[in-house]
Amino acid sequence: MTSEASASLIQDGARVIFQRKDWSKEATVGAGKSLVISKLKIKTDEVIGLPYGTLVELNKQTGKFDRVEAVEEDDFADIEFGEAGGDNRNLVDTGTAQGLSTGEIAELKISGVKGMELINNIVQNSSTFGDRQEYGKEKYVAKKKEKHIYRFRILRPTLRLACDVYSSMKVNKINHIRVDTLAIMLSLSNIQAGSKVLVVDGVQGLLLAAAMERTGGTGKIVHVHPGPQPIIPAYDLFGFPDSWTDTIHHLSIDNLEVVSSHVEILPKGEESMETDGASSDGPVEPPLKKRKLNALQTASANYMKENTMDALIMASRHHPKSILLFLLPFLSLSKNFVVHCAYREPLVDTFQALRGLGSVLRICLNDTALRYYQVLPSRTHPENSMSGSGGFLLSGTTVEKGAAAVVEKEQESVPEDGKEEE
Amino acid sequence: MSFLTSSNHPTVAEGDTVMIYIDYSTILAAQIDLSAKQSVIHTKKGPVSLKNLIGHRYGTKLTCKSGYVQILQPTPELWTKTLPFRTQILYLPDISMIVMHLDLKPGSLVGESGTGSGSLSHAIARTVAPSGHLYTFDYHDVRVQQARKEVVQHGLEDIITVQLADVYENGYGTLENHLDAVMLDLPMPWLAIPHAKKALKKGGSRVGSFSPCIEQVQRTCEELKKHGFSDLVTLECLMRPLEVKVMNMNSWQPPEVRAAGVDGDRRPKTPFSQISFSTAIIPKEVPGHSGFLTFASLF
Ligand SMILES: C[S@@+](CC[C@H](N)C(=O)[O-])C[C@H]1O[C@@H](n2cnc3c(N)ncnc32)[C@H](O)[C@@H]1O
């Protein structure tokens, strides 16, 4: 088997996404590893060696995944309906409309009738089904489908799928970042292979993962994280190679001040040294504050002190203003920053602070809307519910803070070195 | 020469494409080419001599006759704002969604049709560089010529290949089982779908299509399903700029508040006092529609 072919097969210990139309979940699969879906614990041994993209269905008896053949997911939305506009004047909800009893449905399931087939059975046995109006029918089928189908596609993680995973169950953990807001952040920040990126990530490592995916392990990332240790499940779900992860410098926000020139970093040294470490370093210039750091944090801080960065992206629970103002000087000139916030007021506040700086150009505050569509013959319409907000984005470009106004005045009286023409 | 960060240099040099920021609503792109005849750009801040930009730092302010301009590094986003229009083009929100939904990253191999004005092409190239490649196709000879010229000027010739071809008829040339993603921005995308299928790798590659009208989307989706594409989604993404302002409103004071006076001494003459607040105003007119984006996978 060629390495390319084997790379397209799911390996033991792989990080994968289990994707359903409306819901996705990340998991590590492999021998002895299991995953919990709807309170059911499912063994994942079975999926090792399957090609990525394989469809599996949960078999509730065995607690394992069965491989299923690809049928067009939408088929079953397609089959039962004619055009929109059914007549529901005779629909009376008697509670007896479903011809199959719960017991019978269970029996069908036990007899091994699978997903699609099961739905069709239920649909055929529902006496009121044909009477329901189009909208009602879709909802009806959607409900049935939700209840009965445990079918997933196993996929390699991508940013798009990571957004799906978080938006289907824990969107508050990523501050309501949505696939479109993340996508726009990545464009505006101009992150690319080789970029040195400053990432302030209070969103489970999702921004860190995004920066890594787009630099492909060929750049450098300084990751400013809340808390003493980085907690980055959204980054971990990608299973990036170690050599890529080595391009990250983690720096706790608690230590952020150490990158300022007013702070001197002292090595933490051996445990026993810790107490006398500070006192032994007696007389230094008073404005220098001293901080003890461990080796890794020191390396991160030193990296920031010695380099200028190509991009800054930020999404955090902290109010963005002071952090952004503190970090902007670490960007090179003519580089871009983008800040995400779930609320607009902190960004309005930050916007106003930036406007006065003179070292930032093209300051923009945006919000975005994202709407999904059902596209079916004669039944195309926007989805019945949509995400209310993906948060707000504040972006800008760093420039030199020259006293241009003064130069300009001089310019009028003194014709100068020809920077300007005729 | 400087669209990719890896080849950026901090000061303007011969051969660079520079972005000249005039004011909030005006940015111009210019090519620093000493052999070119036209070497002065006339702006509302006064004339800017391109030759004299050489050696100045990007991000720097340059004084002009009436004010100053600022010189910025080129990016795909600025190029979208400054490029010479040959066709309708794609803009930031749709471009961002396309790059995201096609799962693009360094190393991706991508097909695009049509090239149009190259707005999308630049964003794709930025993301797939340095090891990936964009094969972009258009059947319009002049547009292809122009795009090729820009690709060279922007230092993207290792990343982008522009080809003259009618993709409805001839598809993606010799590319077969080769691409990770194909993007269609064509009047009749459904005619390109069988060709896209041939050019794409099997096992999870992605296709995307942009169409302004729902009837186009309808046909595209039917065709995608017919050719075995799965996981179809159709979406619309809009971005609205918010205007940050300090606003004032008159606040009416109830009589008992007025009677108490300010600091107990002077009674205000009117029942109104001013309250000011910072807010983000939604402009009167915002983008309402650009087009529908449809994406699907090929396994
Ligand atoms: C709307 S433009 C694409 C704009 C582009 N996405 C951008 O952002 O600049 C559509 C282009 O498709 C080209 N086109 C139309 N039909 C084509 C065909 N059958 N084969 C190749 N190109 C075609 C047109 O010449 C035109 O340049």
The CATH architecture one would assign to domain B79-238+289-298 is 3-Layer(aba) Sandwich (3.40)
Q: Does A406 lie in the same domain as A316?
A: yes
Q: Does A174 lie in the same domain as A137?
A: no
Name beta bridge partners: A220.
A196
Contact call for A192 and B126, based on CB within 8 A: yes
Tell me the CATH class for B17-74: alpha beta
- Give domain status of residue A422, yes or no: no
- The three-state DSSP-derived secondary structure of B66-121 is CEEEEEECCCHHHHHHHCCCCCCCCCHHHHHHHHHHCCCCCCCEEEEECCCCCHHH
Q: Could you list the residue range(s) of the whole structural domain that residue A366 is in? A: 160-268+283-413
Q: Does B214 touch chain A (CB under 8 A)?
A: yes
The per-residue pLDDT for A80 is: 40
- The per-residue pLDDT for range B27-75, each reduced to its tens digit, is 999 999 888 777 888 999 999 999 889 999 999 998 888 888 999 999 9
Q: Is residue A359 very low, low, confident or very high in pLDDT (cuts 50, 70, 90)?
A: very high
The per-residue pLDDT for B253 is: 86
Q: Which residues of A touch B6 (CB under 8 A)?
A: 192-194
- The ipTM estimated for the assembled molecules is 0.96
Q: Which residues of B touch A392 (CB under 8 A)?
A: 242, 280
Does B10 score more than 50 pLDDT? yes
- What's the B98 CA to ligand 1 centre distance in angstroms? 16
Q: Does A310 lie in the same domain as A199?
A: yes
Report domain extents, chain B.
Answer: 17-74, 79-238+289-298, 243-281
Nearest CA owner, ligand 1 atom 15? B186
Tokens representing A354 are 């930036």
- What's the B184 CA to ligand 1 centre distance in angstroms? 8
- Give domain status of residue A277, yes or no: no
- The per-residue pLDDT for range A165-198, each reduced to its tens digit, is 998 778 899 999 999 999 999 999 999 999 999 9
Rounded to 10°, the helix A115-125/A134-148 angle is 140
Contact call for A407 and B61, based on CB within 8 A: yes
Say whether the peptide bond before residue B114 is cis (omega within 30 degrees of 0): yes
- The per-residue pLDDT for range B190-230, each reduced to its tens digit, is 999 999 999 999 999 999 999 999 999 999 999 999 999 99
User: Which ligand 1 atom is at minimum distance from the Cα of B167?
Assistant: 20
CB nearest to B93's CB, from A21, A368, A402: A368
The per-residue pLDDT for A406 is: 31
User: How many other CB atoms are found less than 10 A from the CB of residue A151?
Assistant: 22
DSSP B208-240: EEEESSHHHHHHHHHHHHHTT-EEEEEEEEEEE
- Give domain status of residue A421, yes or no: no
Question: Is B119 a known ligand-binding residue?
Answer: yes
Which chain B residue is nearest to residue A7, measuring alpha carbons?
B203
Q: Which residues of A touch B11 (CB under 8 A)?
A: none
Give ligand 1 pocket residues (Cβ under 6 A).
Answer: B 87-90, 113-114, 116-120, 137-140, 143, 166-168, 185-187
The per-residue pLDDT for A201 is: 97
Burial (CB < 10 A; 0-12, 13-18, 19+), residue B112, is buried
- DSSP letter for B255, please: H
Which of the two residues, B230 and A74, has the higher pLDDT score? B230
